[in-house]
Amino acid sequence: MANPNIVAVTSILGVTTYLTPSATTAVVLLPNAASSGKVFKINQIVAANVDGSSAVDTTVSLYTNGAVAQGSAPSGGTAFPIVSTISVPADASLIAVDKTTAIYLMEGTSISVTSGTASKITYSISYEEISS
Protein backbone atom coordinates (compact mmCIF):
# COMPACT_ATOMS: atom_id res chain seq x y z
CA MET A 1 0.00 0.00 0.00
CA ALA A 2 1.61 3.21 -1.21
CA ASN A 3 1.16 6.70 0.11
CA PRO A 4 0.58 8.87 -2.99
CA ASN A 5 2.83 11.91 -3.28
CA ILE A 6 0.42 14.84 -3.13
CA VAL A 7 3.08 17.29 -4.33
CA ALA A 8 2.91 15.64 -7.77
CA VAL A 9 -0.86 15.94 -8.00
CA THR A 10 -2.47 15.21 -11.35
CA SER A 11 -6.07 15.33 -10.20
CA ILE A 12 -8.16 16.74 -7.34
CA LEU A 13 -11.85 15.92 -7.51
CA GLY A 14 -14.39 17.32 -5.05
CA VAL A 15 -16.89 14.70 -3.91
CA THR A 16 -19.85 14.62 -1.52
CA THR A 17 -21.66 11.42 -0.67
CA TYR A 18 -24.14 10.33 1.97
CA LEU A 19 -25.55 7.27 3.72
CA THR A 20 -28.43 6.47 6.09
CA PRO A 21 -27.57 3.12 7.72
CA SER A 22 -30.52 0.76 8.16
CA ALA A 23 -28.91 -1.08 11.10
CA THR A 24 -27.17 -0.29 14.37
CA THR A 25 -23.88 -2.01 13.56
CA ALA A 26 -20.81 -0.35 12.06
CA VAL A 27 -20.89 0.24 8.30
CA VAL A 28 -18.44 1.84 5.91
CA LEU A 29 -19.22 5.43 4.94
CA LEU A 30 -16.14 5.94 2.74
CA PRO A 31 -13.64 3.28 1.64
CA ASN A 32 -10.21 3.89 0.10
CA ALA A 33 -9.03 0.60 -1.41
CA ALA A 34 -5.44 -0.53 -0.83
CA SER A 35 -4.55 -0.19 -4.52
CA SER A 36 -6.47 3.01 -5.31
CA GLY A 37 -3.41 5.20 -5.89
CA LYS A 38 -5.34 7.98 -4.13
CA VAL A 39 -5.51 9.83 -0.85
CA PHE A 40 -8.77 11.44 0.31
CA LYS A 41 -8.69 14.75 2.18
CA ILE A 42 -11.78 14.69 4.38
CA ASN A 43 -13.19 18.21 4.68
CA GLN A 44 -16.45 17.55 6.49
CA ILE A 45 -18.47 14.74 8.07
CA VAL A 46 -21.95 15.59 9.34
CA ALA A 47 -24.31 13.27 11.24
CA ALA A 48 -27.91 14.54 10.97
CA ASN A 49 -30.58 13.09 13.26
CA VAL A 50 -33.73 12.74 11.14
CA ASP A 51 -35.84 11.58 14.10
CA GLY A 52 -38.18 14.38 15.15
CA SER A 53 -38.64 13.21 18.73
CA SER A 54 -35.60 11.32 20.08
CA ALA A 55 -31.87 11.80 20.46
CA VAL A 56 -29.71 9.18 18.71
CA ASP A 57 -26.11 8.19 19.48
CA THR A 58 -23.47 8.18 16.77
CA THR A 59 -19.88 7.01 16.41
CA VAL A 60 -17.57 7.90 13.51
CA SER A 61 -14.27 6.00 13.21
CA LEU A 62 -11.20 5.63 11.02
CA TYR A 63 -10.97 1.96 10.14
CA THR A 64 -7.82 0.08 9.09
CA ASN A 65 -9.57 -1.81 6.27
CA GLY A 66 -10.78 0.12 3.24
CA ALA A 67 -11.44 -2.62 0.72
CA VAL A 68 -15.18 -2.99 1.37
CA ALA A 69 -17.99 -1.06 -0.30
CA GLN A 70 -19.96 1.80 1.23
CA GLY A 71 -22.76 0.44 3.41
CA SER A 72 -20.97 -2.87 4.04
CA ALA A 73 -19.79 -4.03 7.45
CA PRO A 74 -16.06 -3.48 7.98
CA SER A 75 -14.08 -6.70 7.79
CA GLY A 76 -10.86 -7.17 9.71
CA GLY A 77 -8.84 -4.20 10.88
CA THR A 78 -9.34 -1.90 13.85
CA ALA A 79 -11.64 1.07 14.44
CA PHE A 80 -10.13 4.31 15.78
CA PRO A 81 -12.96 6.65 16.86
CA ILE A 82 -13.06 10.27 15.73
CA VAL A 83 -16.24 10.83 17.76
CA SER A 84 -17.52 8.11 20.07
CA THR A 85 -21.10 7.55 21.22
CA ILE A 86 -22.13 11.21 20.91
CA SER A 87 -25.83 11.92 21.43
CA VAL A 88 -27.31 13.91 18.55
CA PRO A 89 -30.54 15.67 19.65
CA ALA A 90 -33.77 15.22 17.67
CA ASP A 91 -33.76 17.19 14.39
CA ALA A 92 -30.16 18.32 14.97
CA SER A 93 -26.76 17.68 13.42
CA LEU A 94 -23.27 16.92 14.68
CA ILE A 95 -20.21 18.09 12.75
CA ALA A 96 -17.70 15.30 13.38
CA VAL A 97 -15.02 16.73 11.05
CA ASP A 98 -14.72 20.12 9.41
CA LYS A 99 -12.00 22.01 7.53
CA THR A 100 -10.30 23.04 10.78
CA THR A 101 -9.89 19.37 11.74
CA ALA A 102 -9.47 17.87 8.25
CA ILE A 103 -7.93 14.40 8.04
CA TYR A 104 -6.37 12.32 5.25
CA LEU A 105 -7.77 8.90 4.45
CA MET A 106 -4.89 6.79 3.21
CA GLU A 107 -5.03 3.77 0.92
CA GLY A 108 -6.32 0.63 2.63
CA THR A 109 -8.40 2.53 5.19
CA SER A 110 -12.00 3.63 5.52
CA ILE A 111 -14.35 5.71 7.59
CA SER A 112 -17.06 3.74 9.38
CA VAL A 113 -20.17 4.96 11.17
CA THR A 114 -22.44 3.46 13.80
CA SER A 115 -25.93 4.73 14.65
CA GLY A 116 -27.69 4.01 17.95
CA THR A 117 -31.04 3.67 16.16
CA ALA A 118 -31.53 2.20 12.67
CA SER A 119 -32.39 4.65 9.85
CA LYS A 120 -32.33 7.71 12.14
CA ILE A 121 -28.93 9.27 11.30
CA THR A 122 -27.99 10.45 7.81
CA TYR A 123 -24.26 10.89 7.33
CA SER A 124 -22.80 13.17 4.69
CA ILE A 125 -19.13 13.40 3.85
CA SER A 126 -17.37 15.95 1.68
CA TYR A 127 -13.84 15.19 0.54
CA GLU A 128 -11.16 15.76 -2.10
CA GLU A 129 -9.99 12.71 -4.04
CA ILE A 130 -6.31 13.36 -4.76
CA SER A 131 -4.23 11.31 -7.18
CA SER A 132 -0.73 11.72 -8.56
What residues make up the domain containing 59?
6-131
pTM confidence score: 0.92
Hey, which bits of the chain come out as E strands? 11-19, 27-32, 38-49, 56-63, 79-88, 93-97, 103-105, 109-115, 121-131
Domain count, the chain: 1
Q: What is the pLDDT of residue 124?
A: 98
What does the pLDDT read at residue 98? 96
> Residue 36 falls within a domain, yes or no?
yes
pLDDT (tens digit, 0 to 9) for every residue of the chain, 132 residues total? 466 677 777 899 999 999 999 999 999 999 999 888 899 999 999 999 999 999 999 999 999 976 789 999 998 889 999 999 999 999 999 999 999 998 999 999 999 999 999 999 999 999 999 997
CATH number at 105 reads 2.60.120.1330
* 69 part of a folded domain: yes
Q: Do 33 and 67 touch, CB atoms closer than 8 A? A: yes
Is 19 within the bounds of a domain? yes
Question: 1 lies in a domain?
Answer: no
